[in-house]
């Protein structure tokens, strides 16, 4: 007669604060403990309106890069990345740059137990820049 042992969690339940601290420790661009992975792109351009339609393709590419970066840091995105805003940095000799900030809600990989909840764009899933995934 064999007895089956019921599977249970192998690690103790992590508190929200500990989760947010872990997420903050896995990113270089922010120490915010808000459950989001933050990423900043610095561009050598100034614009009056970074939300203008002419910047849509750049924002789409940057949001995709944020999802990829979060995955590389062991964080599973739980939604699409979002554009959070721009900050103009006045540089030396009139060389201004702009910091474009993006973020995405994430969970550490060891806490994301349902792979179907991980958000990955079609482009990232395809791996070749196309917008379709293949089975």
pLDDT digits (tens, 9 = 90+) for 69-92: 999 999 999 999 999 999 998 877
In a domain, 16, yes or no: no
User: Residue 53 is part of which domain span?
Assistant: 35-126
Helices marked H in the chain: 16-25, 56-72, 122-126
**Residue 9, pLDDT above cutoff 60:** no
The pLDDT tens digits for 16-65 are: 557 888 888 887 777 788 889 999 999 988 777 999 999 999 999 999 99
Residue 94's region, left for phi above 0, alpha for psi from -120 to 50, else beta, is left
In a domain, 18, yes or no: no
Q: Domain tally for the chain?
A: 1
Distance CA 46, CA 125 (A): 32
DSSP 6: P
In a domain, 75, yes or no: yes
In a domain, 67, yes or no: yes
- Can you spell out the DSSP letters for 69-81? HHHHTTEEESS--
In a domain, 9, yes or no: no
**Residue 135, pLDDT above cutoff 90:** no
In a domain, 117, yes or no: yes
In a domain, 99, yes or no: yes
In a domain, 90, yes or no: yes
31: tokens are 């120490």
């Amino acid at each position: 007669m064999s007895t089956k042992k019921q599977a249970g969690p192998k690690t103790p339940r992590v508190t929200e604060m500990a989760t947010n601290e872990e997420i903050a420790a896995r990113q270089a661009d922010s120490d915010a403990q808000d459950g989001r992975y933050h990423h900043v792109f610095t561009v050598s351009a100034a614009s009056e309106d970074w939300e203008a339609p002419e910047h849509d393709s750049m924002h789409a590419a940057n949001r995709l890069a944020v999802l990829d970066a979060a995955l590389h840091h062991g964080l599973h995105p739980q939604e699409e990345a979002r554009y959070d805003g721009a900050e103009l940095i006045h540089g030396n000799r009139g060389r201004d740059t702009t910091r474009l900030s993006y973020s995405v809600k994430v969970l550490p990989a060891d806490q994301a137990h349902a792979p179907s909840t991980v958000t990955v764009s079609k482009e990232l899933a395809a791996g070749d820049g196309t917008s379709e995934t293949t089975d």
